[in-house]
Amino acid sequence: MSKNKLECYSNGVYFENPFLVGSGPPSTNAKVIARSFDAGWGGSVIKTLSLDHTKVKNIAPRYGQYKVDGKCIGFTNNELITDRPLSVWLEEIRELKKRYPSKVLIGSIMEEPTRENWQELTEKVCKAGVDIIELNLSCPHGMPERKMGQAMGQCPEVVSDVTSWVKEVSTVPVWAKMTPNITDITIPAAAALKAGADGLTAINTILSVSGIDLKTFKPVPNVKGVSAFGGYSYKAVKPIGLRMVGELAMAFPKVEISGVGGIVDGQSSAEYLCMGSSTLQVCTAIMLDGFKIIGALKSELEAVLDQHGMENVHELKAKSLEFFGTMEEMAKRLEASKQKTKAHTDHFEGDNIVEVSKQLTLD
């Protein structure tokens, strides 16, 4: 029997492979989660739960695409947390764990900033049988009027409070999901870790507008002519996600990180691992191409491992971090190499800007 090169551990939890369905429409109920497990995903992060689902008012249409040459590279959503009763979810969690005991089920939770609410929700979800709790401190558009989502994640003091409340009662590891809509992602992350978080998830979606319909001047998407800034995901956000995961991994080298943002194939999966992730979450790619993409994700990531003679996916973790430094270091190395270069800006002479830009680009 061949060895499973993709099996891994995070916070003591075993994953048959590092690929998790990210919290969102692909994990919106037990039926779709079961479908993902049957397809081969290692785990799923449940669509974010709260105590009172009746306060959640979803809209339609709520998605927008940013296309280049007719192909979607960026996806904007105004998706809210679950609008299904918590009691139904708790029963579905219990049933999923009975049917799929080897799959990892992660409970994403969000509440108003009160100890009682967070602790009640945590206790109920833990008792239902989740393997990990993920704190949604980062949804960019979800109910800021209730001081939820990124309204919490942008305030280190609130991040600390919420994390400590949950850790007081949680019986499973706790991950804090970080918002990218902040100047320095390591500041709230440090607050979460100091308060006891066992791991981090990064990144959530980026505030955005997909575009403007120039026939009507209305943003896309909109509901009856009114829009709101949404969360941006898919291929175009990968460079930002990689940077922020790298910042977290450099600042907290022993911390488990679940990487999210533009993971669509084995290449992007390996890149997130090389920047410090232990597990990988995928949401938008599933929405656009279905659960079946797991086959390609696994085979393509295994091919990267085989190319480098690696026996396990953990060998990729943080592999690229040693190659980061400062601009000053880069300049000194270039000077020491005595390489002929057109790095000086005097080489830009107006009409040759395209040519010089190509010469300074590493494909």
CATH topology of domain 8-323: TIM Barrel (3.20.20)
| Segment 273-332, tens digit of pLDDT | 999 999 999 999 999 999 999 999 999 999 999 999 999 999 999 999 999 999 999 989
Q: Where is pLDDT greater, at 149 or 206?
A: 206
Tokens coding 319: 């592999």
> Is the pLDDT at 190 greater than 50, yes or no?
yes
User: What are the domain boundaries of the chain?
Assistant: 8-323, 327-359
Reported in sequence order, the residue ranges of the chain that DSSP labels E, i.e. its strands, are 8-10, 13-15, 19-21, 43-45, 63-68, 71-77, 104-109, 132-136, 174-177, 199-202, 206-208, 211-213, 218-220, 230-233, 256-260, 279-282
Mean pLDDT along residues 340-362: 74
> Is the pLDDT at 1 greater than 50, yes or no?
no
* Active-site amino acid positions: 139
Query: What is the value of pTM for the model shown?
Result: 0.94
pLDDT reported for residue 51: 97
Q: Which amino acid is at 313?
A: V
